[in-house]
Homo-oligomer: A and B are copies of this chain.
Amino acid sequence: MAKIAILGYGTVGSGVYEIFQDSDFSKKIGESVEVSKILDIREFPSHPNPGLFTKDFNDILNDAEISVVCETMGGLHPAYEFTKALLEAGKSVTTSNKELVATYGTELLEIAAAEGVRYMFEASVGGGIPIIRPLASCLLANNIERIAGILNGTTNFILSEMINNNREFDDALADAQARGYAERNPAADIEGHDACRKIAILASMAWGDFVDYNNIPTEGICDISLTDVRYAEKFGAAIKLIGYAEKQDDKSVYACVAPMAVECNNPLAGVTDVFNAIMVRGNYLGDAMFYGRGAGKLATASAVSADVLDIVRMKSLKKPMRWETGATKMLEPGKKKWAYIVRTKAGQKEIDSEFNPVKTVTGVVESETGFITEPMCEDEFLEKIARVGAVKYIRMLEN
Protein backbone atom coordinates (compact mmCIF):
# COMPACT_ATOMS: atom_id res chain seq x y z
CA MET A 1 0.00 0.00 0.00
CA ALA A 2 1.41 3.37 -1.03
CA LYS A 3 0.40 6.37 1.07
CA ILE A 4 0.12 9.76 -0.56
CA ALA A 5 -0.80 13.29 0.47
CA ILE A 6 -2.48 16.17 -1.33
CA LEU A 7 -1.47 19.83 -0.91
CA GLY A 8 -4.45 22.09 -1.61
CA TYR A 9 -8.01 20.77 -1.73
CA GLY A 10 -9.26 22.97 -4.56
CA THR A 11 -10.65 21.84 -7.90
CA VAL A 12 -7.75 19.61 -8.94
CA GLY A 13 -6.80 18.44 -5.44
CA SER A 14 -10.32 17.30 -4.65
CA GLY A 15 -10.41 15.58 -8.06
CA VAL A 16 -7.27 13.61 -7.15
CA TYR A 17 -8.90 12.59 -3.87
CA GLU A 18 -12.02 11.41 -5.72
CA ILE A 19 -10.02 9.34 -8.18
CA PHE A 20 -8.07 7.49 -5.49
CA GLN A 21 -11.24 7.08 -3.47
CA ASP A 22 -13.18 5.60 -6.38
CA SER A 23 -10.57 3.26 -7.84
CA ASP A 24 -8.58 0.34 -6.62
CA PHE A 25 -5.40 0.48 -8.65
CA SER A 26 -3.86 -2.67 -7.19
CA LYS A 27 -4.90 -4.69 -10.24
CA LYS A 28 -3.30 -2.17 -12.56
CA ILE A 29 -0.03 -1.45 -10.77
CA GLY A 30 0.35 -4.23 -8.25
CA GLU A 31 -0.12 -1.97 -5.23
CA SER A 32 -3.04 0.00 -3.83
CA VAL A 33 -2.78 3.74 -3.19
CA GLU A 34 -4.36 5.60 -0.29
CA VAL A 35 -4.69 9.33 0.35
CA SER A 36 -3.61 9.60 3.98
CA LYS A 37 -3.33 13.38 4.50
CA ILE A 38 -4.64 16.55 2.86
CA LEU A 39 -3.24 20.02 3.52
CA ASP A 40 -5.59 22.98 3.29
CA ILE A 41 -6.04 26.10 5.37
CA ARG A 42 -9.79 25.87 5.00
CA GLU A 43 -12.22 23.72 6.99
CA PHE A 44 -14.21 20.96 5.28
CA PRO A 45 -16.61 19.98 8.06
CA SER A 46 -18.98 18.05 5.81
CA HIS A 47 -16.21 16.01 4.16
CA PRO A 48 -16.80 12.26 4.62
CA ASN A 49 -13.30 11.87 5.97
CA PRO A 50 -12.45 15.04 7.96
CA GLY A 51 -9.60 13.29 9.79
CA LEU A 52 -7.50 13.49 6.61
CA PHE A 53 -7.19 17.27 6.78
CA THR A 54 -4.38 19.17 8.39
CA LYS A 55 -3.39 22.81 8.36
CA ASP A 56 0.22 22.01 9.29
CA PHE A 57 2.52 21.17 6.38
CA ASN A 58 4.93 19.47 8.79
CA ASP A 59 2.37 16.75 9.42
CA ILE A 60 2.95 15.66 5.86
CA LEU A 61 6.65 16.46 5.61
CA ASN A 62 7.44 14.41 8.70
CA ASP A 63 5.17 11.48 7.90
CA ALA A 64 7.65 8.80 6.90
CA GLU A 65 4.89 6.63 5.46
CA ILE A 66 3.96 9.17 2.79
CA SER A 67 6.07 8.54 -0.29
CA VAL A 68 4.33 10.70 -2.91
CA VAL A 69 2.73 14.13 -2.58
CA CYS A 70 0.40 15.83 -5.09
CA GLU A 71 0.93 19.58 -5.12
CA THR A 72 -2.30 21.06 -6.41
CA MET A 73 -2.14 24.42 -4.62
CA GLY A 74 -1.16 26.55 -7.57
CA GLY A 75 0.84 29.76 -7.28
CA LEU A 76 4.53 30.08 -6.54
CA HIS A 77 4.55 30.44 -2.77
CA PRO A 78 4.44 28.46 -0.62
CA ALA A 79 4.13 25.75 -3.32
CA TYR A 80 7.84 26.18 -4.14
CA GLU A 81 9.04 25.96 -0.53
CA PHE A 82 6.79 22.97 0.18
CA THR A 83 7.85 21.09 -2.96
CA LYS A 84 11.53 21.69 -2.26
CA ALA A 85 11.24 20.51 1.33
CA LEU A 86 9.34 17.37 0.28
CA LEU A 87 11.85 16.42 -2.41
CA GLU A 88 14.72 17.00 0.01
CA ALA A 89 12.93 14.76 2.48
CA GLY A 90 12.97 11.97 -0.12
CA LYS A 91 9.35 12.19 -1.24
CA SER A 92 8.32 12.31 -4.90
CA VAL A 93 6.05 15.17 -5.95
CA THR A 94 3.51 15.38 -8.79
CA THR A 95 1.93 18.68 -9.75
CA SER A 96 -0.49 20.51 -12.00
CA ASN A 97 1.20 23.85 -11.19
CA LYS A 98 2.52 25.19 -14.51
CA GLU A 99 3.71 28.44 -12.99
CA LEU A 100 5.90 26.61 -10.49
CA VAL A 101 7.31 24.20 -13.09
CA ALA A 102 8.02 27.01 -15.56
CA THR A 103 9.74 29.08 -12.87
CA TYR A 104 11.54 26.63 -10.58
CA GLY A 105 11.45 23.43 -12.66
CA THR A 106 15.19 23.24 -13.20
CA GLU A 107 16.03 23.45 -9.50
CA LEU A 108 13.26 21.08 -8.46
CA LEU A 109 14.24 18.46 -11.07
CA GLU A 110 17.84 18.79 -9.89
CA ILE A 111 16.90 18.17 -6.27
CA ALA A 112 14.69 15.23 -7.25
CA ALA A 113 17.55 13.66 -9.24
CA ALA A 114 19.99 14.16 -6.36
CA GLU A 115 17.56 12.60 -3.87
CA GLY A 116 16.60 9.71 -6.15
CA VAL A 117 12.94 10.73 -6.17
CA ARG A 118 10.79 12.18 -8.94
CA TYR A 119 9.18 15.50 -9.77
CA MET A 120 6.43 14.97 -12.34
CA PHE A 121 4.09 17.44 -14.00
CA GLU A 122 2.02 15.78 -16.74
CA ALA A 123 -0.96 17.90 -15.65
CA SER A 124 0.88 21.21 -16.04
CA VAL A 125 0.32 21.30 -19.81
CA GLY A 126 -2.80 20.20 -21.64
CA GLY A 127 -4.77 19.17 -18.56
CA GLY A 128 -5.35 15.46 -18.93
CA ILE A 129 -3.92 15.15 -22.45
CA PRO A 130 -0.80 13.04 -22.37
CA ILE A 131 2.00 15.24 -23.68
CA ILE A 132 4.80 15.46 -21.11
CA ARG A 133 5.31 11.70 -20.96
CA PRO A 134 5.13 11.22 -24.74
CA LEU A 135 7.83 13.89 -25.10
CA ALA A 136 9.94 12.28 -22.37
CA SER A 137 9.46 8.71 -23.45
CA CYS A 138 7.49 7.76 -26.57
CA LEU A 139 9.32 10.22 -28.80
CA LEU A 140 12.71 9.62 -27.19
CA ALA A 141 14.27 8.30 -30.38
CA ASN A 142 13.31 11.46 -32.28
CA ASN A 143 14.95 14.82 -32.26
CA ILE A 144 12.06 17.20 -31.72
CA GLU A 145 12.13 19.84 -34.44
CA ARG A 146 9.20 21.96 -33.45
CA ILE A 147 6.13 22.18 -31.24
CA ALA A 148 3.02 24.17 -32.16
CA GLY A 149 0.10 23.99 -29.81
CA ILE A 150 -3.28 25.35 -28.87
CA LEU A 151 -2.46 25.42 -25.19
CA ASN A 152 -5.23 27.54 -23.70
CA GLY A 153 -8.86 26.46 -23.82
CA THR A 154 -10.38 29.83 -22.90
CA THR A 155 -8.84 31.67 -25.83
CA ASN A 156 -9.65 28.81 -28.17
CA PHE A 157 -13.28 29.00 -27.09
CA ILE A 158 -13.33 32.76 -27.74
CA LEU A 159 -11.72 32.41 -31.17
CA SER A 160 -14.05 29.51 -32.06
CA GLU A 161 -17.07 31.64 -31.18
CA MET A 162 -15.73 34.44 -33.37
CA ILE A 163 -15.05 32.07 -36.28
CA ASN A 164 -18.18 29.93 -36.10
CA ASN A 165 -20.77 32.25 -34.60
CA ASN A 166 -19.66 35.55 -35.99
CA ARG A 167 -19.24 37.15 -32.60
CA GLU A 168 -16.90 40.02 -31.78
CA PHE A 169 -14.12 39.43 -29.25
CA ASP A 170 -15.78 41.24 -26.31
CA ASP A 171 -19.01 39.38 -26.80
CA ALA A 172 -17.27 35.99 -26.99
CA LEU A 173 -15.18 36.83 -23.91
CA ALA A 174 -18.29 37.75 -21.92
CA ASP A 175 -19.81 34.40 -22.89
CA ALA A 176 -16.64 32.56 -21.83
CA GLN A 177 -16.86 34.32 -18.47
CA ALA A 178 -20.55 33.49 -18.11
CA ARG A 179 -19.78 29.82 -18.74
CA GLY A 180 -16.97 29.82 -16.20
CA TYR A 181 -14.27 29.20 -18.84
CA ALA A 182 -12.67 32.60 -18.26
CA GLU A 183 -11.84 34.29 -14.97
CA ARG A 184 -13.33 37.61 -14.03
CA ASN A 185 -9.83 38.96 -14.65
CA PRO A 186 -9.05 37.09 -17.87
CA ALA A 187 -5.60 38.62 -18.49
CA ALA A 188 -3.58 35.44 -17.89
CA ASP A 189 -5.54 33.68 -20.63
CA ILE A 190 -6.28 36.34 -23.23
CA GLU A 191 -2.87 38.02 -23.03
CA GLY A 192 -1.17 34.67 -23.62
CA HIS A 193 0.67 34.33 -20.30
CA ASP A 194 -0.84 30.93 -19.53
CA ALA A 195 0.12 29.58 -22.96
CA CYS A 196 3.58 31.12 -22.53
CA ARG A 197 4.32 29.14 -19.36
CA LYS A 198 3.12 25.98 -21.05
CA ILE A 199 5.23 26.36 -24.20
CA ALA A 200 8.23 27.16 -21.96
CA ILE A 201 7.70 23.82 -20.18
CA LEU A 202 7.30 21.93 -23.46
CA ALA A 203 10.41 23.53 -24.94
CA SER A 204 12.43 22.73 -21.83
CA MET A 205 11.19 19.12 -22.04
CA ALA A 206 11.86 18.79 -25.75
CA TRP A 207 15.47 19.91 -25.69
CA GLY A 208 16.51 19.32 -22.08
CA ASP A 209 17.65 22.89 -21.53
CA PHE A 210 15.63 25.30 -19.45
CA VAL A 211 13.69 27.83 -21.52
CA ASP A 212 12.78 30.84 -19.41
CA TYR A 213 9.25 32.04 -20.14
CA ASN A 214 10.44 35.59 -19.58
CA ASN A 215 12.41 35.24 -22.81
CA ILE A 216 9.40 34.24 -24.90
CA PRO A 217 7.73 37.07 -26.84
CA THR A 218 4.06 36.78 -26.04
CA GLU A 219 1.04 38.30 -27.75
CA GLY A 220 -2.54 37.63 -26.78
CA ILE A 221 -5.76 37.74 -28.74
CA CYS A 222 -7.27 41.01 -27.45
CA ASP A 223 -6.58 42.75 -30.75
CA ILE A 224 -8.12 40.09 -32.97
CA SER A 225 -11.27 41.38 -34.63
CA LEU A 226 -14.00 39.64 -36.55
CA THR A 227 -12.60 41.28 -39.70
CA ASP A 228 -9.23 39.62 -39.09
CA VAL A 229 -11.04 36.32 -38.74
CA ARG A 230 -12.81 36.88 -42.08
CA TYR A 231 -9.55 37.74 -43.84
CA ALA A 232 -7.95 34.57 -42.54
CA GLU A 233 -10.96 32.65 -43.88
CA LYS A 234 -10.51 34.22 -47.29
CA PHE A 235 -7.02 32.80 -47.25
CA GLY A 236 -8.25 29.36 -46.18
CA ALA A 237 -7.07 29.70 -42.61
CA ALA A 238 -8.37 29.94 -39.04
CA ILE A 239 -6.86 32.21 -36.39
CA LYS A 240 -5.62 30.29 -33.35
CA LEU A 241 -3.52 31.33 -30.37
CA ILE A 242 -0.39 29.25 -30.91
CA GLY A 243 2.38 28.44 -28.49
CA TYR A 244 5.34 27.80 -30.76
CA ALA A 245 8.87 26.52 -30.23
CA GLU A 246 11.46 25.23 -32.64
CA LYS A 247 15.08 24.21 -32.64
CA GLN A 248 17.10 26.12 -35.21
CA ASP A 249 19.86 24.58 -37.30
CA ASP A 250 22.36 26.54 -35.20
CA LYS A 251 20.90 24.81 -32.08
CA SER A 252 19.32 27.98 -30.78
CA VAL A 253 15.68 27.82 -29.74
CA TYR A 254 12.97 30.08 -31.06
CA ALA A 255 9.76 30.37 -29.09
CA CYS A 256 6.77 32.67 -29.10
CA VAL A 257 3.09 32.89 -28.26
CA ALA A 258 0.97 34.69 -30.82
CA PRO A 259 -2.29 34.51 -32.69
CA MET A 260 -1.51 32.80 -35.99
CA ALA A 261 -3.44 31.98 -39.14
CA VAL A 262 -3.52 28.19 -39.41
CA GLU A 263 -4.34 26.76 -42.83
CA CYS A 264 -7.45 24.62 -42.85
CA ASN A 265 -5.63 21.46 -43.95
CA ASN A 266 -3.61 21.62 -40.74
CA PRO A 267 -5.36 19.52 -38.07
CA LEU A 268 -4.80 22.32 -35.54
CA ALA A 269 -7.27 24.45 -37.52
CA GLY A 270 -10.08 22.02 -36.71
CA VAL A 271 -9.51 22.16 -32.95
CA THR A 272 -12.45 24.20 -31.65
CA ASP A 273 -14.23 25.08 -28.43
CA VAL A 274 -12.23 24.65 -25.21
CA PHE A 275 -10.14 21.83 -26.68
CA ASN A 276 -6.35 21.89 -26.71
CA ALA A 277 -4.03 20.21 -29.17
CA ILE A 278 -0.28 19.98 -29.41
CA MET A 279 1.47 19.18 -32.68
CA VAL A 280 4.96 17.82 -32.26
CA ARG A 281 7.35 17.35 -35.17
CA GLY A 282 10.03 14.68 -34.77
CA ASN A 283 12.85 14.14 -37.25
CA TYR A 284 11.78 10.53 -37.83
CA LEU A 285 8.12 10.61 -36.91
CA GLY A 286 7.01 13.71 -38.77
CA ASP A 287 4.01 15.44 -37.20
CA ALA A 288 2.04 13.85 -34.39
CA MET A 289 -0.83 15.59 -32.65
CA PHE A 290 -2.20 15.14 -29.15
CA TYR A 291 -5.74 16.37 -28.69
CA GLY A 292 -8.24 16.67 -25.85
CA ARG A 293 -9.74 18.79 -23.13
CA GLY A 294 -6.96 20.95 -21.74
CA ALA A 295 -8.63 21.60 -18.43
CA GLY A 296 -11.36 20.32 -16.17
CA LYS A 297 -11.32 18.96 -12.65
CA LEU A 298 -11.19 15.22 -13.26
CA ALA A 299 -9.25 15.34 -16.54
CA THR A 300 -6.45 17.33 -14.88
CA ALA A 301 -6.67 15.26 -11.70
CA SER A 302 -6.36 12.06 -13.75
CA ALA A 303 -3.03 13.30 -15.12
CA VAL A 304 -1.76 14.10 -11.60
CA SER A 305 -2.92 10.64 -10.55
CA ALA A 306 -1.22 8.91 -13.51
CA ASP A 307 2.05 10.48 -12.38
CA VAL A 308 1.46 9.09 -8.88
CA LEU A 309 0.78 5.61 -10.29
CA ASP A 310 3.91 5.80 -12.43
CA ILE A 311 6.03 6.65 -9.41
CA VAL A 312 4.51 3.87 -7.32
CA ARG A 313 4.98 1.18 -9.94
CA MET A 314 8.37 2.18 -11.31
CA LYS A 315 11.66 1.61 -9.73
CA SER A 316 13.97 4.51 -10.38
CA LEU A 317 15.17 5.78 -13.72
CA LYS A 318 18.82 5.30 -14.59
CA LYS A 319 18.98 8.81 -15.96
CA PRO A 320 16.53 11.17 -14.28
CA MET A 321 15.28 14.09 -16.32
CA ARG A 322 17.22 17.30 -15.87
CA TRP A 323 17.10 20.68 -17.49
CA GLU A 324 20.41 22.46 -17.97
CA THR A 325 20.33 26.13 -17.12
CA GLY A 326 22.07 28.77 -19.07
CA ALA A 327 22.60 26.33 -21.94
CA THR A 328 19.69 27.54 -24.04
CA LYS A 329 20.65 30.04 -26.67
CA MET A 330 17.47 31.74 -27.77
CA LEU A 331 17.06 32.90 -31.33
CA GLU A 332 16.54 36.65 -31.59
CA PRO A 333 12.84 36.89 -32.40
CA GLY A 334 13.53 39.29 -35.28
CA LYS A 335 15.48 36.57 -37.08
CA LYS A 336 12.56 34.16 -37.24
CA LYS A 337 10.95 33.84 -40.68
CA TRP A 338 7.19 33.96 -41.06
CA ALA A 339 4.71 34.56 -43.82
CA TYR A 340 2.18 37.22 -42.78
CA ILE A 341 -1.40 38.03 -43.62
CA VAL A 342 -1.46 41.81 -44.01
CA ARG A 343 -4.45 44.15 -44.11
CA THR A 344 -3.55 47.51 -45.65
CA LYS A 345 -5.08 50.63 -47.13
CA ALA A 346 -2.03 51.02 -49.37
CA GLY A 347 -2.39 50.67 -53.15
CA GLN A 348 -1.16 47.72 -55.16
CA LYS A 349 1.85 49.69 -56.37
CA GLU A 350 3.02 50.50 -52.85
CA ILE A 351 2.46 46.88 -51.83
CA ASP A 352 4.44 45.61 -54.80
CA SER A 353 7.31 48.00 -54.07
CA GLU A 354 8.04 46.10 -50.84
CA PHE A 355 6.45 42.64 -51.15
CA ASN A 356 5.80 39.88 -53.65
CA PRO A 357 2.35 38.93 -52.43
CA VAL A 358 1.65 35.21 -52.64
CA LYS A 359 -2.09 35.83 -52.64
CA THR A 360 -4.26 38.97 -52.56
CA VAL A 361 -7.93 39.59 -51.74
CA THR A 362 -10.01 42.72 -51.86
CA GLY A 363 -13.60 43.50 -50.96
CA VAL A 364 -13.63 42.22 -47.40
CA VAL A 365 -13.46 45.78 -46.08
CA GLU A 366 -13.91 48.78 -48.34
CA SER A 367 -10.68 50.41 -49.56
CA GLU A 368 -8.61 47.68 -47.94
CA THR A 369 -6.40 45.02 -49.50
CA GLY A 370 -5.42 41.79 -47.81
CA PHE A 371 -2.38 39.84 -48.92
CA ILE A 372 -0.06 37.05 -47.84
CA THR A 373 3.66 37.81 -47.88
CA GLU A 374 6.42 35.41 -48.71
CA PRO A 375 8.18 34.08 -45.61
CA MET A 376 10.71 36.61 -44.34
CA CYS A 377 12.53 37.52 -41.13
CA GLU A 378 10.36 39.41 -38.67
CA ASP A 379 12.87 42.30 -38.64
CA GLU A 380 12.72 42.62 -42.41
CA PHE A 381 8.94 42.41 -42.42
CA LEU A 382 8.62 45.13 -39.77
CA GLU A 383 10.82 47.49 -41.81
CA LYS A 384 8.88 46.86 -44.99
CA ILE A 385 5.47 47.11 -43.39
CA ALA A 386 6.43 50.39 -41.69
CA ARG A 387 6.98 51.82 -45.16
CA VAL A 388 3.75 50.40 -46.62
CA GLY A 389 1.53 50.93 -43.60
CA ALA A 390 -0.82 48.24 -42.28
CA VAL A 391 -4.20 48.11 -40.61
CA LYS A 392 -3.24 44.77 -39.07
CA TYR A 393 -0.93 41.84 -39.69
CA ILE A 394 -0.84 38.31 -38.35
CA ARG A 395 1.69 35.52 -38.70
CA MET A 396 0.83 32.37 -40.61
CA LEU A 397 1.76 29.02 -39.10
CA GLU A 398 3.76 27.08 -41.68
CA ASN A 399 2.30 23.63 -42.24
Interface residue ranges, A against B (CB under 8 Å): 15, 19, 23, 25, 27-31, 122, 128-130, 133-134, 137-143, 208, 265, 267, 270-272, 282, 284-293, 296, 298-299, 301-303, 305-306, 308-310, 312-319
- Contact present for A319 and B30 (CB under 8 Å): yes
Q: Which residue of B lies closest to A135 (CB)?
A: B130
Enumerate chain B residues within 8 angstroms of A305, measured Cβ to Cβ: 140-141
Consensus secondary structure, chain A interface: mixed
- Contact present for B128 and A288 (CB under 8 Å): yes
Question: Taking the nearest CB of chain B, how far is it from the CB of A207, in angstroms?
Answer: 11
- Contact present for A284 and B302 (CB under 8 Å): yes
A sample of 10 more A-B contacts (CB under 8 A), given A130-B139, A312-B318, is A23-B141, A30-B318, A128-B286, A282-B302, A284-B299, A285-B292, A285-B303, A290-B290, A313-B317, A315-B315
Enumerate chain B residues within 8 angstroms of A285, measured Cβ to Cβ: 128-129, 292-293, 298-299, 302-303
Enumerate the 3 nearest inter-chain pairs by beta-carbon distance, A residue then B residue, closest first: A30-B319, A130-B138, A288-B292
- Contact present for A318 and B286 (CB under 8 Å): no
Task: Give the contacting residue for A133; candidates B137, B142, B271, B319; CB below 8 A.
Answer: B137
Question: Taking the nearest CB of chain B, how far is it from the CB of A132, in angstroms?
Answer: 9
Complex-state Cα separation, A338 to B247, whole angstroms: 47
- Contact present for B129 and A288 (CB under 8 Å): yes
Q: Which residue of B lies closest to A18 (CB)?
A: B284
Complex-state Cα separation, A265 to B299, whole angstroms: 21
Complex-state Cα separation, A156 to B71, whole angstroms: 43
- Contact present for A138 and B133 (CB under 8 Å): yes
- Contact present for B302 and A142 (CB under 8 Å): yes
Q: Which residue of B lies closest to A28 (CB)?
A: B140
- Contact present for A284 and B301 (CB under 8 Å): yes
Complex-state Cα separation, A286 to B312, whole angstroms: 24
